[in-house]
Structure 1
């Protein structure tokens, strides 16, 4: 699983930072979270490809959606035929439809827009779920969490052979959770050769929000929390007025949630020349696993360390 930060600025872009857009790649799927102005150019610039599976919008402020018509037109010009699903906060799907109509965006491929109420799954896959959670901004808004299911425990081939299990289909039966009978009548059970289930990964993207208990709950044990951190703490009053968080508040959320890593995003243009105060503030509260990515940075999300032997 990889994350590419396509846009990390706040409402006003800078020469170094584009408005909000996060691309998550998992196996053959690509999920795009928010589509700030110029996202399609960022995708070209950072060579992510356009094979998007799903678009998830956190809210409808311009710095999170103005890139949508251009991106859909680019996909259409590239002769996309695969349908595209777009998820947006409950009650806003009609607004997105009107927005696309007003921009003359009528691609030849199917675009299905879905309302996404907080606290609900928007995608339920056999290996993972993407769920919404409530956020606190100045408009209808949600965050998204991609949560992988537990994986099977490790199969101990050496132990299986010691027990007399022949190499072949019985290995798979045991790994799938079924007991097998050997030629001499001995029964071998899965728990004799299969380890404990292994945890999957959790990635959480808040979009714009003040710190809330709902965000902390959604981020519990997250492998990566991508949190709004628009201001340093000396501007906490301004953060509250505008429905945003400070870097210190984001770090506190990550600490309380037990997140493993924290990425600060939606950075105000007032820090265009120096983002170090934001990063230092988060590190002071959360530790060295807090960081402030640049546009184009790509990070890998490994499986939990309990997976390593």
Structure 2
């Protein structure tokens, strides 16, 4: 799993930071979270490709959605035939549908717009699901958590051989949770040779929000929490007024959630020249790793040990 930050700036883009956009790659699938103005150019610039299957919008402020019409049009120019699913907060479906067709032309491929209810599963695939959770901004807004299923426990090959299980299909059947019978009539149960299930990975993206308990719940034990940090701590009052968070608030929330890594994003243009103070503040508070994300930065999300 790999996350590429396409845009890490706040409402106003700078020469260093584009408006909000994040691409997550998992086993060849590409998922796009938010689509601010210029997102498709960032996708070209950083080599992520356009073959996204789902777009997840946290809210409909311009710095998170104004790149959507252009991206949809480019996909059409590229003769896309596969459906595109766009997920958006409750009550915003018609606005997104109008945004996709703002030029008066609809894409030649199917576009589905689904409303993502907080606390619900937005997307369910074979090995993971994406859940929406409530955030606290100045409009209808949600965050998203990608949560992988537990993986199979480790197969103890050495012990299986000691029990007399021959190498081959019976190994696989045991690992799949089936009981096997040996030629001498001995029955071997899966729990004798397979360890406990191992957790999958969790990546959480907040979009714009004040610190919330629902984010803590969604981000519990997250491998990567991507939390907005629009301001430094000296502007905490401004953050509260505008529905945003400070770097220290994001770090404190990550601690409460037990998140392993914290990526700070949605950086205000007032820090266009130097965002190091946000990173310094977060690192002084965070129990785990904390860093300010940069446009074009890609990070791998390994499985928990």
Is the 1:283–1:289 Cα contact (8 Å) retained in structure 2? yes
SS at match of 2:216: helix
Pairing 1:197–2:197 present: yes
CA distance in 1, matches of 2:111, 2:8: 26
- Which residue number in structure 2 is paired with residue 83 of structure 1? 83
Unaligned runs of 5+ in 1: none
CA distance in 2, matches of 1:111, 1:290: 37
- 1:288 deviates by 5.9
- 1:83 deviates by 0.5
- Which residue number in structure 1 is paired with residue 67 of structure 2? 67
| Equivalent residue pairs, number | 305
SS at match of 2:147: strand
Is the 2:69–2:102 Cα contact (8 Å) retained in structure 1? no
- 1:287 deviates by 4.4
Is the 1:132–1:145 Cα contact (8 Å) retained in structure 2? yes
- 1:105 deviates by 4.5
- Which residue number in structure 2 is paired with residue 117 of structure 1? 117
- 1:126 deviates by 2.1
Normalising by structure 2, we get a TM-score of 0.98
- Which residue number in structure 1 is paired with residue 40 of structure 2? 40
CA distance in 2, matches of 1:103, 1:15: 27
Is the 1:118–1:132 Cα contact (8 Å) retained in structure 2? yes
C-alpha distance after superposition, 1:207-226 (max 9, x if no partner): 00000111111110000000
- 1:255 deviates by 0.5
CA distance in 2, matches of 1:159, 1:19: 54
- Which residue number in structure 2 is paired with residue 223 of structure 1? 223
CA distance in 2, matches of 1:287, 1:148: 24
Unaligned runs of 5+ in 2: none
- Which residue number in structure 2 is paired with residue 273 of structure 1? 273
- Larger deviation: 34-43 or 103-112? 103-112
- Larger deviation: 152-161 or 8-17? 152-161
C-alpha distance after superposition, 1:37-69 (max 9, x if no partner): 010000000000111010000000000000000
C-alpha distance after superposition, 1:81-130 (max 9, x if no partner): 11010000011011111222223351111000001111110111121110
Is the 2:259–2:288 Cα contact (8 Å) retained in structure 1? no
C-alpha distance after superposition, 1:143-178 (max 9, x if no partner): 000000100001112221221111221111101111
CA distance in 2, matches of 1:235, 1:103: 39
- Aligned pairs for 1:277-296 (under 5 A) are 277-287=277-287, 289-296=289-296
Is the 1:69–1:105 Cα contact (8 Å) retained in structure 2? no
**Structure 1 runs (4+) greater than 6 angstroms displaced:** none
- Which residue number in structure 2 is paired with residue 182 of structure 1? 182
Is the 2:118–2:142 Cα contact (8 Å) retained in structure 1? yes
- Which residue number in structure 1 is paired with residue 29 of structure 2? 29
Normalising by structure 1, we get a TM-score of 0.97
CA distance in 1, matches of 2:105, 2:282: 41
Is the 2:88–2:113 Cα contact (8 Å) retained in structure 1? yes
CA distance in 2, matches of 1:124, 1:151: 16
- Which residue number in structure 1 is paired with residue 210 of structure 2? 210
- Which residue number in structure 1 is paired with residue 127 of structure 2? 127
Is the 2:260–2:288 Cα contact (8 Å) retained in structure 1? no
Pairing 1:141–2:141 present: yes
